[in-house]
Amino acid sequence: MAIDHGGRLPVYLQLADIIEQRIKSGELRAGRTIPSEQTLMQEFGLSRGSVRKAVSVLRERGLVDTVPHRGTFVI
């Protein structure tokens, strides 16, 4: 799935939706880390700020939890 940079939905919400789909499909499993900020930036052509906003949205949705110096884990 790709990010539509010219779309109506902000890119960070598109990324959050993509990661949520990966979690719900089982591609990203509970207890495992999601890809790093750097990996997501490269894969989707996004800024660090957009990736961080997407992860924040996922935390608000109750799908992930971030552990400092360890990563962001699927709940």
Q: Domains of the chain by range and CATH? A: 11-74 (1.10.10.10)
CA distance from start to end of the chain: 22
Nearest to 62 by CA among 75, 50, 49, 53: 75
Q: The pTM is what?
A: 0.95
Which pLDDT tens digit goes with each residue over 21-56? 999 999 999 999 999 999 999 999 999 999 999 999
